Homo-oligomer: A and B are copies of this chain.
Amino acid sequence: MAPASNETTFRVRYSETDQMGGFYNSRALEWFELGRTEVLRRLAPYAEMERRGVLLPVVEAHVEYLGRARYDDELRITSRVELFGRARLRFEHVIEAVDGGASVVRGHTIHAITDATGRPVRPPAWLVAALSDGP
């Protein structure tokens, strides 16, 4: 797997369900963040990036809900990141059931790259280098 992609698994928490019996729709964005965290860990831990003053606020999110998942179901998120334009990152996410592989959620998020004050900055050289390693 290329450095800019990652698979990670997690279980649906009780706190993530709603009265319809599946997961509440906003959890998809929280799960995208789990995938993002693991992709970035392979490049440079995000906690470390923030310490260096690089923030990645979300500027756009898109989610397609493809199937149900219930409390305690084990899900797999596959996330990929690429540079998007000159100063943004785009993460693509696919979430599937570990047992059976049914699609649950698919979508993407686009992130600005900013300094600690929220001002856009060019992607750091080490990040561009890491993302250019290709598959």
Inter-subunit contact A72/B46 (CB<8 Å) = yes
Inter-subunit contact B57/A65 (CB<8 Å) = yes
How many residues on A have C-beta within 8 angstroms of the other chain's C-beta atoms?
A: 40
Contacts of A17 in B (CB 8 A): 18-19, 24
Contacts of A20 in B (CB 8 A): 55, 57
Q: Which residues of A contact B (CB under 8 A)?
A: 11, 13-15, 17-22, 24-30, 33-34, 37, 45-47, 50, 55, 57-65, 68, 70-72, 109, 118
CA–CA, A55 to B65, complex, Å?
15
Contacts of A15 in B (CB 8 A): 18, 24, 26, 30, 33
A127 to chain B, nearest CB (A): 18
